[in-house]
Amino acid sequence: MIKMSFQKLIKTNLLLFIVIIVLEFLFAAGSATSSYIIQFAYNQLVKNILLGFLLIIASSVFLSFVSYILSSLATYLFSKQTQKYIHSIRHKLISKYYHDKAPKVAEMENELNSNLQVLTKNYADQSLSIIQSGFLLVTSISSLLLMNWMLTLLAIILSVITLYIPRFTRQKASNATQKVVNRNSKYLLAIEEWFNGLEELRKYTAFNKLDLVMQKVSQNLETSFVKRKKVISVADFLNGCANSFSQIAITLLAAILFFNHQVTFGVIIAAGNFSSMILNCLLTITTSLTRIQSVQGLNKQIIESQKLASSHKETNTDEIYSISTHNLSISFKNGETIYFPDIHIERGEKVLLSGDSGTGKSTLFKLILNKLQPTNGQVIFEDKYGKEVSPDYAEIGYIPQDGKLFPTSIINNIIMFDNKLKKLVKKAVENNDLSKDIASMPNGLETEIDLDTNNFSGGQKQKIILARNEIHNFSIILADEATSAIDSKSSYRILKNLVSSNKTVIVVAHNLTPAIEKLFSRKISLVNNKR
């Protein structure tokens, strides 16, 4: 199960986390030492020893400078570790939506962007703050104890009282954060729902309605942000008041002890600094705990959202020995229903799927790939023992007529950024009759694909996608009019290469030459079974 877990975060790189812990400890020790030696500086000043005062102050400043460098380094390293962890969560969430039969763009945007950003800020970052403040708290209390036990006791008592302040705002902060998340989700959903019908709005000049809707959801989101900020501001104000009161009380006690000759003058200054450090540490810890708690509901939402992903049963497609359909049909919102004949395709078969337009050839592929859900019947995958198995749909090669290219080089579009496959590119280019096309390009395989200017023909695009499919070596291939924009001679060579493999190949095509039809082991014709 995917969730924002501190234990899992640590495990992403245990050695790096140990380094972070050491750096944070050194920061705390350096900061405490820097504040501790301040007392000696002011003692030198009382004795009119200016040089001693300046040297100790300089030493304190240097220690403080080094300490904050160490802290900054720890923060940077922790950020790297956190982003690596977040990346793994993103990857798993994307996998979930990849396998989801009907993914919603708004939901995905919300989970991948808003929710994970909030979690990073209010969970991972706050966890580091707790670690840092914890070390600084221990070193500060120890240093103050070396000065005077009464000052230490008063600082601890005041700090314990301060611990209860965030309780007044904790639940309100949690509710405010959740409201922001919910309204942000509604905002993104509104964008998806209305912009999907942009053409209709343009057709009927109904943009005023869109403007009103977007203003309303945007205003609701803005209101939630303001309310959350108000709650946090109140909490910060209360914390500030407690800090000021405590520092005054500690300084007053130190002054009394000084006039009673129990401490030096320097202790008055140092004690005030330490009391402030102790209280700030405790406030940081409690505030961080509050913020972590405020996103627990969001963390649970992330966990729930991946139940589908974690329950997804991955199966090697090499284990699939047959694909069958049984009583398969699908109904659409317009009332139309397509009925499919029972089909059984064995492993390694080369099947040509034909039929007039509207008989459901492309729809059948989408049903096989789980992109659509049947109204009745089912698609069955079986292993060599006849046992039903669940396929990993990502491992089934699908070549649509209008496949997707990306605004990068030809070679990147073929290998899909997997450099290990570069050695196979040349053969894939040759097998898919792409060599002459590549030779005519200004930069060969490194030629950039420009989606705006459309600098490639439809046939060239199809060849690139076919090469991409071949190089990734899927054991099952579904090709939907994959050579429709390619001339018949090239189509013959490409399809001949495709069917010469030991793969299971199912091709949708029409208006094929007799020579191409002979390449396939059998032909399945779909008829117009609409009702």
Tens of pLDDT, residues 115-149: 566 666 667 778 888 888 899 999 989 988 888 88
Nearest CA to 115 among 311, 307, 296? 296
240-266: average pLDDT = 80
CA pseudo-torsion sign 403, 406, 410, 416 = negative
Model pTM? 0.48
CATH code of the domain made up of 6-310: 1.20.1560.10
478-501 tens-digit pLDDT: 999 888 888 888 999 999 998 998
Q: How many CB atoms lie within 10 A of CB 216?
A: 12
402-414: average pLDDT = 83
Question: Which residues are registered as beta bridge partners of 337?
Answer: 331
Alpha helices in 385-528 (DSSP H): 410-415, 425-431, 435-439, 458-471, 488-499, 514-517
Spatial distance between the Cα atoms of 337 and 531, rounded to a whole number of angstroms: 6
Q: Quote the pLDDT of residue 457.
A: 86
Spatial distance between the Cα atoms of 278 and 162, rounded to a whole number of angstroms: 11
For residue 188, the one-letter residue type is L
Q: Quote the pLDDT of residue 180.
A: 65
Q: Which helix (H) or strand (E) holds 480?
A: strand 476-480
| Residue 337 in tokens | 């229903």
Q: For domain 317-526, which CATH number applies: 3.40.50.300, 3.40.50.720, 1.10.1740.10, 3.40.190.10?
A: 3.40.50.300
Q: Which helix (H) or strand (E) holds 214?
A: helix 207-259
Q: Which residue has the higher pLDDT, 191 or 438?
A: 438
Which residue do the tokens 């909030």 mark?
Answer: 118
266-284 tens-digit pLDDT: 788 788 778 778 878 887 8
Looking at the predicted structure, is the pLDDT value of residue 232 above 60? yes
Q: Are strands 344-346 and 322-331 parallel, antiparallel or unpaired?
A: antiparallel
Q: How many CB atoms lie within 10 A of CB 424?
A: 16
Spatial distance between the Cα atoms of 134 and 153, rounded to a whole number of angstroms: 18
Which of 34-48, 288-302, 416-430 shows the lowest mean pLDDT across its residues? Answer: 288-302
- Parse the chain into domains and list their residue ranges: 6-310, 317-526
Which residue do the tokens 């592929």 mark?
Answer: 365
Q: CA-based Rg of the chain, rounded to a whole angstrom?
A: 34
Q: How far is CA 3 from CA 84, 179, 302, in A?
A: 14, 21, 6
Q: How far is CA 244 from CA 162, 251, 271, 373, in A?
A: 11, 11, 14, 64
Give φ, ψ of 372 to 5 degrees: -125, 150
Give φ, ψ of 476 to 5 degrees: -125, 130
Contact, 106 vs 191, CB < 8 A? yes
444-479 tens-digit pLDDT: 899 988 877 777 888 888 899 899 888 888 889 999
Using alpha carbons only, give the angle 367, 372, 377 rounded to the nearest 5 degrees.
55
Q: Please provide the DSSP assignment of 360-392 as one string.
A: SHHHHHHHHTTSS--SEEEEEEE-TTS-B----
159-164: average pLDDT = 72
